[in-house]
């Protein structure tokens, strides 16, 4: 008889009991116990035998198992040493899974990718992320400039809303810009909190991010561009003019520089950061640099 999926509530319970595992809230441990949702995640990610996958935080292997069944190769980073023997046990039937016992934020992703995978095949990140470090993990993958074609990741719905938000909405902010600069972001579906053990306080969402061939906008200096976008959202109720002065300075020379740059990019200083599109932020950043 075929073994039940790890994600079935009964099998999860057995695995936890067998290994005497107790959840650590500080590591964002909320395990999925609904095989249908896992199948939907794998489907959304378009994982097949021609795809390599990186997973962050395999837990006891609920999602890893579904990925292993469809992907060519799976590499999973798990920080919790108590889960390493559990995964050795649950992943025994899947030789195409490699578990790396490491904090993913400390991982040298480029080297791992080069050594673990066939470079010809597309690489995707598929994960139910630990919620306490969702943003740092996303930024680690985006900024390390590794060849990840797509990310299909579960996170708190509120964070998924912020990442995929459009200008002029309440959720739009520097995080939307930081991610959308590199990737096209789409909210795929909502996952109710009831399918996790232990149950978190909020609902989750699956976000599908597809890497753009080139960044969304052309900027002279990425660091300066991100400094500007962060500055514009420093105090959301303040105007762009107020926030920019707080970051760059209030002396006459700086004010003249900011004013000239805003004028050249045709942006009214009385607007709020949340009304500016990526294109407008890029224009302003480039004009500021040109006048420095």
Tokens representing residue 101 in the block: 């016992």
What is the DSSP secondary-structure string of 115-182? HHS-TTS-EEEEEE--GGGHHHHHHHHHHTT--EEEEEEEEEHHHHHHHTPPTTSTT-SHHHHHHHTT
**Tokens representing 115?**
């050594």
Q: Does 128 show up as a binding residue in the annotation?
A: yes
Cβ at position 223, least distance to ligand SAM in Å: 25
Measured between alpha carbons, how far is 113 from 100 in angstroms, rounded to an integer? Answer: 12
Burial (Cβ within 10 Å: 0-12, 13-18, ≥19) of residue 202: exposed
Contact predicate 165/236, CB 8 Å: no
- Alpha-helical regions (H) of the chain: 9-18, 35-44, 62-70, 83-90, 109-116, 134-143, 157-163, 174-180, 222-232, 240-248, 252-264, 278-290
Q: Residue 231 CB, nearest distance to ligand SAM (Å)?
A: 29
Which of 89, 96, 86, 22 has the alpha carbon at shortest distance from 66? 96
Residue closer to ligand SAM by CB (options 83, 282) is 83
Query: Is 258 strand, coil or helix?
Result: helix
**Minimum Å distance from CB 131 to ligand SAM?**
7
Of 84 and 264, nearer to ligand SAM (C-beta) is: 84
Kind and range of the H or E run holding 267: none
Name which of 101 and 291 has its Cβ closer to ligand SAM: 101
Name the minimum Å distance from CB 198 to ligand SAM: 11
28 is in an annotated binding site: no
* 258 marked ligand binding residue: no
The nearer residue to ligand SAM, 105 or 256, going by C-beta atoms, is: 105
**Ligand-binding site membership of 203 (annotated):** no
Q: How far is the CB of 92 from ligand SAM (least distance, A)?
A: 18
Q: Is 59 annotated as a binding residue?
A: no
By C-beta, is 97 or 133 nearer to ligand SAM?
Answer: 133
Instruction: Work out how close the CB of 211 gets to ligand SAM at its nearest, in angstroms, rounded to a whole number.
Output: 22
Nearer to ligand SAM, 62 or 142 (CB): 62
| Residue 112 to residue 129: CA distance in whole angstroms | 19
158 is in an annotated binding site: no
The binding site for ligand SAM (CB under 6 A) comprises: 27-32, 56-59, 62-63, 77-80, 83, 103-105, 128, 130, 133
Residue number of the CB atom closest to ligand SAM:
57
Summarize the annotated binding site for S-adenosyl-L-methionine as residue ranges. 30, 32, 57, 78, 103, 128
Summarize the annotated binding site as residue ranges. 30, 32, 57, 78, 103, 128
């Amino acid at each position: 008889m075929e073994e039940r999926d790890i994600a079935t509530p009964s099998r999860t319970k057995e695995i936890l009991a067998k290994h005497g595992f107790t959840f650590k809230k500080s590591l964002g441990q909320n395990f999925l116990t609904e095989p249908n949702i896992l199948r939907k995640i794998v489907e959304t990610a378009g994982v097949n035998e021609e795809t390599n996958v990186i997973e962050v935080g395999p837990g006891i292997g609920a999602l890893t198992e579904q990925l292993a069944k469809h992907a060519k190769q799976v590499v999973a980073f798990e920080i919790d040493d108590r889960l390493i023997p559990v995964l050795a046990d649950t992943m025994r039937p899947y030789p195409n899974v490699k578990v790396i016992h490491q904090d993913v934020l400390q991982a040298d992703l480029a080297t791992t990718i080069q050594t673990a995978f066939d470079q010809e095949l597309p690489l995707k990140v598929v994960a139910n992320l630990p919620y306490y470090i969702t943003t740092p993990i996303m930024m680690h993958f985006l900024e390390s400039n590794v060849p990840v074609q797509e990310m299909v990741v579960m996170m708190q719905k509120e964070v998924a809303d912020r990442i995929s938000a459009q200008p002029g909405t309440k959720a739009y902010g520097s995080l939307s810009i930081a991610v959308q600069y590199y990737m096209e972001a789409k909210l795929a579906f909502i996952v109710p909190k009831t399918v996790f053990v232990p149950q978190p306080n909020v609902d989750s969402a699956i976000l599908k991010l597809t890497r753009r061939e080139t960044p969304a906008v052309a900027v002279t200096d990425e660091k300066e561009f991100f400094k500007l976008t962060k500055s514009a959202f420093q105090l959301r109720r303040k105007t762009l003019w107020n926030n920019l002065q707080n970051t760059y300075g209030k002396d006459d020379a700086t004010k003249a520089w900011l004013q000239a740059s805003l004028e050249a990019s045709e942006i009214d200083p009385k607007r709020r950061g949340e009304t500016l599109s990526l294109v407008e932020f890029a224009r302003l950043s480039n004009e500021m640099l040109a006048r420095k």
